[in-house]
Structure 1
Amino acid sequence: MTYHFRKATTSEIPHIWIILQQAIARRKADGSDQWQDGYPNPDVIQNDIDKNAGFVLTEDDTIIGYTAVLINDEPAYENIKGNWLTHGDFVVFHRVAISENHLGKGLAKKLMNFIEEFAINNNIYSVKADTNFDNFAMMAIFEKSGYSYCGEVHFRGSARKAYEKVIVKN
């Protein structure tokens, strides 16, 4: 299998939206409140793409995952209850979703590896992210991927667990 990580295009929004809807349904089936309020939606994806922040994971030519990746662009992170590991430039990612047909292959972790490569390519050695308190699958991926729990941040009215990974330069 050949995996690629690249910027998403507007024409791919319908396919990306299907993957996000699958993830929204999985969160609900897991009993989570995350993504159960109309967010994310196609307008959010369009906004990501407009900001050059929407990225897809592809297997050959098939889109199998989506995430938004930004540099130094998360105002909520300025008000952490806790402490970040670093205070310089950082890459942040949101809205990680893997296609229903490709679950259980370690692709979320692979997607996070691509995000780390993106950071290094931009000479940034910190990756930050957050998740709901009830998203145990994502918390496990953070732990397996070497992220440290740093505290709580608030998004859209609710507390979230915040994580950071400092990338070691080779």
Structure 2
Amino acid sequence: MNYHFRKAPITDAPKIWIILQQAILRRKTDGSNQWQDGYPNPEIIQQDIEKRIGYVLTDDNIIIGYTAVLINDEPEYENLQGEWLTTSDFVVFHRVAIAQEYIGQNLSKKMIDFIEAFALENNIHSLKADTNHDNFAMMSIFEKSGFVFCGIVHFRGSPRRAYEKVLNA
């Protein structure tokens, strides 16, 4: 496989939306409440791309995954009920989704590896992320990837499990 991680241009938006729709359906099938409230949606994808924070994972030229990657930009993380491992700069990622036909190939972990490299290229040694309390697949990925549970944050009125991973240079 020839994986790449790149910023998404607006022309990627239709394929990204298909991948996110598949992930929304998987969350529902898994019994999770995450992403069952109209979020994410095509407008969110467009905003991500316009802000230059939308990234795709590709296999050659085929888009197989999506996430939004930001630096120091998650105001809700200041309201953590718990304690972060670090208080310095951090990279946060949201809306991780893998195309249905690529599920089970450990690609969320591959995407996190690319995000770690992005952080280190920017001299940042902390990754932060969160997920719904009933998204057991993502919690498992975080734990297998070396993230530590740090506490609870709230998004759109819902509690979320917050994680951090400290990166070594």
- Normalised by the length of structure 2, the TM-score is 0.99
Q: Distance in 2 between matches of 1:159 and 1:79?
A: 12
Q: Distance in 1 between matches of 2:15 and 2:142?
A: 26
Q: Distance in 2 between matches of 1:117 and 1:77?
A: 22
- Number of the residue aligned with 1:67: 67
Could you tell me how far 1:103 is from its partner in structure 2? 0.6
Question: Moved runs in structure 1, 4+ residues, more than 4 A?
Answer: none
Could you tell me how far 1:6 is from its partner in structure 2? 0.2
Could you tell me how far 1:8 is from its partner in structure 2? 0.3
Does 2:35 align with 1:39?
no
- Number of the residue aligned with 1:100: 100
- Number of the residue aligned with 1:53: 53
Could you tell me how far 1:145 is from its partner in structure 2? 0.2
Could you tell me how far 1:140 is from its partner in structure 2? 0.3
- Number of the residue aligned with 2:164: 164
Q: Secondary structure at the match of 1:89?
A: coil
- Number of the residue aligned with 1:126: 126
- Number of the residue aligned with 1:148: 148
Q: Distance in 1 between matches of 2:35 and 2:159?
A: 14
Could you tell me how far 1:27 is from its partner in structure 2? 0.2
RMSD over aligned Cα atoms:
0.4
Could you tell me how far 1:33 is from its partner in structure 2? 0.6
- Normalised by the length of structure 1, the TM-score is 0.99
Q: Distance in 2 between matches of 1:156 and 1:71?
A: 21
Query: Structure 1 regions of 5+ residues with no counterpart?
Result: none
Could you tell me how far 1:149 is from its partner in structure 2? 0.2
Deviations 1:35-90 (A, max 9, x none): 00110001000111111100000000000000000000000000000000000100
Which amino acid is the alignment partner of residue 39 of structure 2? Y
Does 2:86 align with 1:89?
no
Q: Distance in 2 between matches of 1:107 and 1:31?
A: 22
Q: Secondary structure at the match of 1:97?
A: strand
